[in-house]
Amino acid sequence: MTDTGPVRRYRFGTFEADAVTGELRRQGIRIKLNAQPFQVLLMLLERPGEVLTREEIARALWSDGTFVDYDHGVNSAVNRIRDALGDTAGSPRYVETLARRGYRFVAPVESLAQEADSSLSSAPRNVEKEFEETEPGDLQSSIGNGILASPEELPRTSHKVVQALFLLLQFMYLGFYVGALTNLAEIEDLISPLPRATLILYGLIGTAAILIPVRAFVFCSALFRAPGVQRKFLKMWPGLLIADVAWALSPFLLMHHINAGLALACMALLVYAPFAQRSLMLMGAGRKKIDPSGKPAES
């Protein structure tokens, strides 16, 4: 296209970045991104396909004489960009890491001149249409073909509620694993009539022993809001999904204490639990709450 004025907005994939307002939007919906990561994103968008060195980023973000861990600061900014875009370093769709060199924006970028600015104000009104025209795969930040919810489709609610529910689910699973390991004699007696009961028992012991440290890691990462916790959890989620669906049968291990109907009802809820965890993570569990000014806020 022919530029008729200074570039103020950039469009790539389903995203738009406005250099004037400092906003990143996906299909008209604003995505929270701090000022420094947004500045780095603009630098990448201004030079698509070119290498942006870490030194260039550091000079742009911090003036001479500023005492800061530049490597950590640059890494943090790029990681926040990837979180906002649903991107990963291992399989980049937008931001590629070049070892010992810097970063490069690999997706096609369309520069929008000033005369196109009026279209931004109408973007929120066209969100429904844009969702219909977008391929389902573009809406997913992890696996799924339009079945799993994208961040934009999830409701906005209190960060404290989201965080508490996510941590409660992790604590629930830890309770299952520890409870199973402390009642092996009762469980062995319960499953003894089943074929290959010994194999089932060993499988239960093995998965519980493995999943206890995994759940402890997820719990602590979310509790203390470790950097990149969302990205790491979404990578782990397919494996956790398999384990969680298998452990959804755990209410039947309590058949000496509850009836089959209650066990079945609990199992149905537990089948949904891994999907609830994914949604809560995309809604902000484990991440610092960001106030409208773009600064971390107390949660």
The tens place of each residue's pLDDT in the chain, 299 residues long, gives 444 456 688 999 999 999 989 999 998 899 999 888 999 999 999 999 999 998 888 888 876 655 556 677 888 889 999 999 999 888 889 999 998 889 999 999 998 865 444 444 444 444 443 333 333 334 344 444 457 777 767 787 888 899 999 999 999 999 999 999 999 999 999 999 999 999 999 999 999 999 999 999 999 999 998 888 888 999 999 999 999 999 999 999 998 899 999 999 999 999 999 999 999 998 888 776 544 344 444 43
Mapped onto helix, strand or coil, the DSSP state of residue 97 is strand
- The CB density around residue 250, as the number of other CB atoms within 10 Å, is 20
* Burial of 121 from C-beta contacts in 10 A (0-12 / 13-18 / 19+): exposed
Mapped onto helix, strand or coil, the DSSP state of residue 254 is helix
- Collect all residues with Cβ–Cβ distance below 8 Å to 58 and sequence separation of at least 6: 70, 73, 74
pLDDT value of position 190: 92
Nearest to 284 by CA among 157, 194, 195: 157
Helix axes 70-85, 54-61, angle to 10 degrees: 100
pLDDT value of position 114: 54
Helix axes 159-182, 229-247, angle to 10 degrees: 40
Which residues on adjacent β-strands are paired with residue 290? Answer: 296
Radius of gyration of the chain (CA): 23
Structure tokens that stand for 290 in this block: 């960001």
pLDDT value of position 68: 59
CA 204 to chain centre: 29
- The CB density around residue 163, as the number of other CB atoms within 10 Å, is 21
Structure tokens that stand for 260 in this block: 């089959």
Residue 50: DSSP 8-state: S
C-alpha–C-alpha distance, residues 25 and 11, integer Å? 10
Alpha helices in the chain (DSSP H): 35-46, 54-61, 70-85, 118-122, 127-133, 159-182, 184-191, 197-223, 229-247, 260-282
pLDDT value of position 288: 61
pLDDT value of position 112: 83
- Collect all residues with Cβ–Cβ distance below 8 Å to 103 and sequence separation of at least 6: 44, 51, 52, 54, 57, 78, 95, 96, 97
Structure tokens that stand for 67 in this block: 């005492």
Mapped onto helix, strand or coil, the DSSP state of residue 31 is strand
